[in-house]
């Protein structure tokens, strides 16, 4: 199970960095980066197609009253 968690974390980091690369180097460069990391290009293409769905679980419409 730890191997899967490590793989998932590495994939998530690669995807986040690829999104950053889109801003500074462009989509083609980011896709090539994902290829070198052996991460599916689909992650980035889905994120670019619907950016409003990205991280929707982290953003709240109303602030919490803790």
Domain count within the chain: 1
Q: pLDDT per residue over 11-61, tens digit each?
A: 999 999 999 999 999 999 999 999 999 999 999 998 888 766 555 555 556
Residue 33 lies in a domain: yes
The predicted structure's pLDDT at residue 2: 59
> Cβ(39)–Cβ(14) under 8 Å?
yes
- The pTM of the full predicted model, rounded to 2 decimals, is 0.67
Q: Tell me, what's the pLDDT at 28?
A: 96
The predicted pLDDT at position 18 comes to 95
What was the pLDDT predicted at 50? 76
Buried b (16+ CB within 10 A) or exposed e, 32-62: ebbeeeebeeebbeebeeeeeeeeeeeeeee
Structural domain includes residue 64: no
Q: Specify if 38 maps to a domain.
A: yes
Does any domain span residue 6? no
pLDDT at 3 over 90: no
């Amino acid at each position: 199970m730890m191997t899967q968690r490590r793989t998932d974390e590495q994939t998530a980091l690669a995807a986040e960095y690829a999104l950053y690369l889109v801003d500074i180097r462009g989509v083609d460069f980011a896709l090539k980066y994902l290829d070198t990391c052996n991460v599916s290009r689909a992650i980035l293409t889905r994120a670019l197609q619907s950016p409003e769905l990205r991280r929707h679980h982290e953003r709240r419409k109303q602030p919490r009253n803790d």
